[in-house]
A and B are shown apart, each in its own frame.
Chain A
Amino acid sequence: MSMNTITFAARRAVRLPKPTNALQYYFSHSPSTSSARAPRSISTGGPRRRYSTPVNDKQQNKSAVGVFSPQAAALFVLAGTGLFLYFKWEKERLAEQKQKDMESRTVGRAHVGGPFQMTTHEGKPFSDKDMLGKWSLIYFGFTNCPDICPDELDKMSAAVNTLDESYGPIVQPIFISVDPARDTIPQMARYVADFHPRLVGLTGDYATAKATCKAYRVYFSTPPDAKPGDDYLVDHSIFFYFMDPDGKFVEAFGKSSSAEDVVERVKRELEEWKAERGRLV
């Protein structure tokens, strides 16, 4: 009995509303009856059965985000697109600049070179590992070559001489035979003596020459069954290659490049390498 009295008293003291269910509660708090803040635009009648309040939401949004009209939206999109395009352009410009700086270093480096095993004109074994730690200029040719090979080897020797003066012996000239049947070790020894004193002549058998040329993307026409005494010429690629101390391809020089062109290109690469790694080899 005393329990009932207390409950009753408490209810009276706080004047609790007496909603019987949610719907009744909503109506008693709907804007049309509880607040006159916004003018009613849709309904002028009494309380209507509505389950959401779009009008009211719109008003609140407007006061929260300010003026957001279609024009503002268009301006926003336009400015955004403009900025996006500008930054894209700027980014491309910078990338282009960087590419120019890195020209032919890491970007688009050709897959030229690879493992090989041949013999020097002194009869010593020589592999791609022996090229590491030195810059190299490599020419592929044959000792019975009428004019192009000696011209190119002279050009290479001249370039190496000039580079020796500036840097010391850090560029190794190499001559690789594409005519192993006739280019024996003594033959190579006689031939390379006509050119740079450091020039290394490499020869081997047909299979090793073929494999080396394949690694260096060099074409040659020597028939596999060529006899040492035959008088024939070999058609072959006449580029010479410039490789870095890691054994990676840097540049190929053709007949149209002069010794000065070669020196200039090699020097540029050497300086870039030095700037990057703080040493020349």
Chain B
Amino acid sequence: MGWFGNRKEPPAAASRQDRTRCWEARDAYFACLDASGVVVAGSEGSRCAGQNKAYQENCARSWIDYFNKRRVLAEQQKPILAQAAMQAEEAKRRSS
């Protein structure tokens, strides 16, 4: 199961290359989810199977859980951040 599961204890931490590979796989998978309009990873059915496989192979389980949770959180924060940005813009416009 990728670089993480095969190693003896303690498993070697991800190297820079490992990290980059994982991030790229994650970005590809999340782009696919975005295209399918899915926020919560795993609820997309079989649509992004290829990307998901690469993601699972290149990232540790704990990282996958973390990235998936953060994706949901970021999605929830989007309207709030947009609103904050709009208010900031308005305040700027009023003061000038």
Determine the residue in chain A with the shortest Cβ distance to B65.
Answer: A233
> Across the interface, do B66 and A146 meet the contact criterion of CB distance under 8 Å?
yes
> Which of B12-20, B40-48, B74-82, B87-95 participates in binding chain A?
B12-20
Q: Which of A45-60 contact B (CB under 8 A)?
A: none
A229 to B8, CA, bound (A): 8
Which chain A residues in 129-152 approach chain B with CB under 8 Å? 143-144, 146-147, 150
Are the C-beta atoms of A187 and B23 separated by less than 8 Å?
no
Option from A144, A194, A227 in Cβ contact (under 8 Å) with B60: A144
Known: A146-B67, A194-B15, A194-B16. A184 touches B10 (CB 8 A): yes
CA–CA, A194 to B13, complex, Å? 11
Bound-complex Cα distance A228 to B66 (A): 19
B2 to chain A, nearest CB (A): 11
Is B66 a contact partner of A191 (Cβ separation < 8 A)?
no
Kindly state the separation between the CA atoms of A233 and B59 in the bound complex, as whole angstroms. Answer: 13
Q: From DSSP, what is the main secondary structure of chain B's interface residues? A: helix
Which residues of the partner chain B approach A182 to less than 8 Å between Cβ atoms? 10-11, 13
What residues on B are CB-neighbors of A144 within 8 Å? 13-14, 60, 62
A150 and B19 contacting across the interface, CB-CB below 8 Å: yes
Q: Interface residues of B, CB < 8 Å — how many?
A: 18
A190 located at the interface, meaning its Cβ lies under 8 Å from any Cβ of chain B in the complex: yes
Report chain A residues within 8 Å CB of B61: 231
Q: Measured between C-beta atoms, what is the minimum distance from A231 to chain B in Å?
A: 5
The answer to the question of A87 belonging to the interface, with a C-beta cut-off of 8 Å to chain B, is: no
B19 CB contacts on chain A under 8 angstroms: 147, 150
Known: A146-B67, A147-B23. A187 touches B12 (CB 8 A): yes
Contact B16 A229 (CB under 8 A): no
Chain A, Cβ-Cβ closest to B16: A194
**Would you give 20 A-B contacts (Cβ < 8 Å), ordered by A?**
A143-B13, A144-B14, A146-B22, A146-B62, A146-B63, A146-B66, A150-B16, A183-B13, A187-B10, A187-B12, A190-B13, A194-B15, A227-B9, A228-B9, A228-B10, A229-B9, A229-B10, A229-B11, A233-B62, A233-B63
Given contacts A147-B19, A190-B13, 17 further A-B contacts (CB under 8 A): A143-B13, A144-B60, A144-B62, A146-B63, A146-B67, A147-B23, A150-B16, A182-B13, A187-B10, A190-B12, A190-B15, A227-B9, A228-B9, A229-B9, A229-B10, A231-B4, A231-B60
Closest 4 CB pairs of A and B: A143-B13, A228-B10, A229-B9, A194-B16
